[in-house]
Structure 1
Amino acid sequence: MLLGISLVLIAFNLRPVFSSASALLPEIRTQLGLDALGAGLLTTLPVVCLGAFSPLAPKLAQRIGTEGTLLAVTLLLALGTALRGISSIWLLFLGTAIAGACIAVGNVLLPGLVKRDFPDRTALLTGLYTMALCGGAAGAAGLTLPIEHALGGSLGLALSAWALPAILAAVIWMPQVFRSRSQPRQSHPRVRGLWRDRLAWRVTLFMGLQSALAYCVFGWLVPILRERGLNGVAAGGIVSASVMVQAAACLVVPHIAVRGRDQRVINVVLCLFSVVALLGLLFAPLSTVWLWAVLQGIGQGGLIAAAMTVIVLRSPDPLVASHLSGMAQCVGYLLASIGPLFVGLIRDWSGSFAACGLLFVALGAGAAWNGWQAGRSVHVGVRAEAADVK
Structure 2
Amino acid sequence: MVRNDQPLPFPSEANPQSTLRKADAADSDAFSWYLAFALFLVGINLRPALSSVAPVLSAIRDTTGLSATGAALLTTLPVLCFGAFAPLAPRLASRFGTERVVLHGLVVLMAAIGLRVFFGIGGLFAGTLFAGASIGVVMVLLPGILKRDFARQVGGMTGVYTMALCLGAALAAGLTVPLKQFAGDSWRVGLAFWLVPVLLAAVVWWPQTRHAGARNAARRYTVQGLRRDPIAWQVTAYMGLQSTLAYCVFGWLPTVLIDRGLTPLAAGGMLSLSIAMQLITSLAGPWIATRGRDQRAAIALMMIVTLIGFAGCAFADTSWIWFWSVVLGLGQGGCFSIGLTLIVLRAPNAPVAASLSGMAQGLGYSGAALGPLAFGLLHDVSGDWNSAAFFFIAVGIAALFAGLAAGRNLHVKATVTEIA
Give the superposition deviation at 1:42.
Answer: 2.0
> Structure 2: 5+ residue runs without aligned partners?
1-32
Correspondent of 1:209 among 241, 253, 259: 241
Aligned: 1:40 with 2:110: no
Deviation larger for 124-133 or 209-218? 209-218
Residue in structure 2 matched with residue 297 of structure 1 by the alignment: 329
Correspondent of 1:114 among 117, 127, 146: 146
Give the superposition deviation at 1:326.
Answer: 0.8
Residue in structure 2 matched with residue 247 of structure 1 by the alignment: 279
Residue in structure 1 matched with residue 401 of structure 2 by the alignment: 369
Superposition map of 1:47-62 within 5 A: 47-62=79-94
| Percent of aligned positions that are identical | 47
Aligned: 1:188 with 2:188: no
Give the superposition deviation at 1:232.
Answer: 5.5
Superposition map of 1:374-389 within 5 A: 374-388=406-420
1:59-80 superposed Cα distances (whole Å, 9 cap, x missing partner):
1112221111111111111221
Give the superposition deviation at 1:183.
Answer: 4.3
1:108-157 superposed Cα distances (whole Å, 9 cap, x missing partner):
10100001111111111100000000111111222222222222322222
**Counterparts in 2 of 1:130 and 1:204: CA distance versus 1, 3 Å:** same
Correspondent of 2:301 among 266, 269, 273: 269
**Counterparts in 2 of 1:283 and 1:88: CA distance versus 1, 3 Å:** farther
Deviation larger for 326-335 or 271-280? 271-280
Residue in structure 1 matched with residue 112 of structure 2 by the alignment: 80
Q: Which amino acid aligns with 1:298?
A: L
Deviation larger for 361-370 or 269-278? 269-278
Q: Give the number of the structure with larger relative contact order, counting CA–CA contacts within 8 Å between residues 6 or more apart.
A: 1
Aligned: 1:162 with 2:162: no
SS of the counterpart of 2:53? helix
Give the superposition deviation at 1:272.
Answer: 2.1
Residue in structure 2 matched with residue 7 of structure 1 by the alignment: 39
Larger Rg: 2
Aligned: 1:67 with 2:81: no
SS of the counterpart of 1:75? helix
**Counterparts in 2 of 1:176 and 1:187: CA distance versus 1, 3 Å:** closer
Q: Which amino acid aligns with 2:83?
A: G
Aligned: 1:357 with 2:386: no
> Structure 1: 5+ residue runs without aligned partners?
none
Correspondent of 2:126 among 73, 85, 94: 94
Q: Which amino acid aligns with 1:43?
A: T
8 Å contact from structure 1 (residues 139, 240) kept in 2: no
Residue in structure 1 matched with residue 353 of structure 2 by the alignment: 321
Q: Which amino acid aligns with 1:291?
A: F
Residue in structure 2 matched with residue 24 of structure 1 by the alignment: 56
8 Å contact from structure 1 (residues 44, 338) kept in 2: no
**Counterparts in 2 of 1:321 and 1:190: CA distance versus 1, 3 Å:** same
**Counterparts in 2 of 1:144 and 1:284: CA distance versus 1, 3 Å:** farther
SS of the counterpart of 2:284? helix
8 Å contact from structure 2 (residues 97, 216) kept in 1: no
Correspondent of 1:259 among 291, 297, 303: 291
Residue in structure 2 matched with residue 131 of structure 1 by the alignment: 163
Residue in structure 2 matched with residue 176 of structure 1 by the alignment: 208
Deviation larger for 154-163 or 49-58? 154-163
1:194-237 superposed Cα distances (whole Å, 9 cap, x missing partner):
00111110100100111111122333434544565655555444
TM-score (norm 2): 0.86
Q: Which amino acid aligns with 1:79?
A: A
Q: Which amino acid aligns with 1:153?
A: D
Please give the root-mean-square deviation of Cα atoms over the aligned residues, in Å. 2.3
8 Å contact from structure 1 (residues 37, 344) kept in 2: no
**Counterparts in 2 of 1:280 and 1:160: CA distance versus 1, 3 Å:** farther
The count of residues paired between Structure 1 and Structure 2 equals 388
SS of the counterpart of 1:191? strand
1:71-113 superposed Cα distances (whole Å, 9 cap, x missing partner):
1111111221233334733322211111100111111101000
**Counterparts in 2 of 1:20 and 1:233: CA distance versus 1, 3 Å:** farther
TM-score (norm 1): 0.92
